[in-house]
Amino acid sequence: MLLNMKDLLAVAHANYFAVPAFNISSNMLLRGAIEASEEKQSPVILAIHPDELSFVRPSFVAAAVAEANKASVPVCIHLDHGSSLGQIMEAIQCGFTSVMIDASLFPLEQNIEISKQIVALAHSVNVSVEGELGTIGTTGPEAEAGSDVIIYTDPDDVVTFVEATGVDTLAVAIGTSHGIYPKDRKPELKLDLLKEIASRVNIPLVLHGGSANPDDEIAAAVKLGINKINISSDIKDAFYQKCREVLADPHLREPNSIYPPCIEAMKKVCHHKIDLFNATGRLHFIKYGSVEARSRRARLLGTGFGNRTHMIMSSLYETVC
């Protein structure tokens, strides 16, 4: 069941849990994320960063859409850290149901202007938008980009930004960094700041750089209003650590021999995160209809994907737990 982020997170927002956004950049990671979510009966966000999209190529998104449509759990396909109109347009053409516009390195006024334009474009074709205020840190070259010094989100700016842009969700900087922290660096979330931000706006808040943070801080952040948490490094680390172990056998060469244990190792991490985010079993939803949108956005944008049918469920479920 493919949904946009606004519809997917409305339920999490109303029920105090967070949906994991797993970064996928291979078929193995796609499979692991969907299987783990189905096993835990949890909604899931499949996040793809523009660098990941360049690597897997747009045709990969068609596979993700097909998997999402047949999944037994709600799935959103989300562009992570889009930074230009071109990237956003490409994502919408490919079949993403949600995009992030990250103009957080610009001054507030410019961030508002850019984000507002993306919201107007994306909303016209039922694609939801995540914005970002403040800057998330980075832990090194293997992690996603970020600033050396974290600029914490200003709660006053949050109100201005959300009202002016109409974004559906907002990524906030409260102390996390992309990647896995070196031993000498301890992440510390400013939970008071999060509490303040959550009291000012009524939209789902997003935590980036959710890998390698202490579990108790993440659980507290979920209770305070975080409804989406990005996990990239933790699942990839588990997957490739297992790959290294498996490939110690020099005779192995078939992907279907090598990768299944690696997928299982990744899924263990997914299971743990889903439990931690309080998202396990959040599928007691009422499905009250479906809308088969025949590539409305594709036709509007003249992308040539007109024959493809997307199942877009708009506000079609709500939790009853």
| Residues at the contact surface with Zn ion, assessed by CB under 5 A | 208
Residues carrying an active site annotation? 80
Give the nearer residue to Zn ion in terms of CB position, either 90 or 102. Answer: 102
Q: Which two tokens stand for residue 183?
A: 């031993």
Q: Alpha-carbon distance 23 to 78, whole Å?
A: 9
* Nearer of residues 7 and 80 to Zn ion, judged by Cβ: 80
- Least separation in angstroms between residue 103's CB and Zn ion is 14
Question: Which tokens hold the place of 113?
Answer: 């202007």
| Cβ-proximal residue to Zn ion, closest one | 208
Q: Is 151 helix (H, G, I), strand (E, B) or coil?
A: strand
CA distance 155 to 205: 12
Residue 193 and residue 200 in contact, taking contact as beta carbons nearer than 8 Å: no
Q: Shortest Cβ distance from residue 108 to Zn ion (Å)? A: 19
Q: How far apart are CA 61 and CA 267, in angstroms?
A: 21
Rounded least distance, CB 230 to Zn ion, Å: 5
Distances in Å between the Cα of 268 and the Cα atoms of 20, 33, 80, 82, 275 are 14, 10, 23, 29, 11
**Residue nearer to Zn ion on the CB measure, 208 or 297:** 208
| Residue closer to Zn ion (CB basis): 45 or 313 | 45
From the list 77, 27, 85, the residue with the least C-alpha distance to 266 is 27
DSSP H stretches of helix in the chain: 5-15, 27-40, 50-56, 59-70, 85-94, 108-123, 155-165, 191-200, 215-223, 233-246, 255-276, 296-301
Q: d(Cα 4, Cα 74) in Å, to the nearest integer?
A: 9
Q: Which residue, 65 or 206, is less far from Zn ion as judged by CB?
A: 206
299 CB contacts (<8 Å, ≥6 apart)?
306
Nearest Cα to Cα of residue 39 among 255, 251, 274: 274
Least distance to Zn ion, CB of residue 56, Å: 18
C-beta of 83: minimal distance to Zn ion in Å?
11
Give the helix, strand, coil percentages of the chain, each rounded to 5: 45, 20, 40
State the minimum distance, in angstroms, from the CB of residue 139 to Zn ion: 12
Q: Are 144 and 138 in contact (CB under 8 A)?
A: yes
What's the min distance (Å) between Cβ of 259 and Zn ion?
A: 26
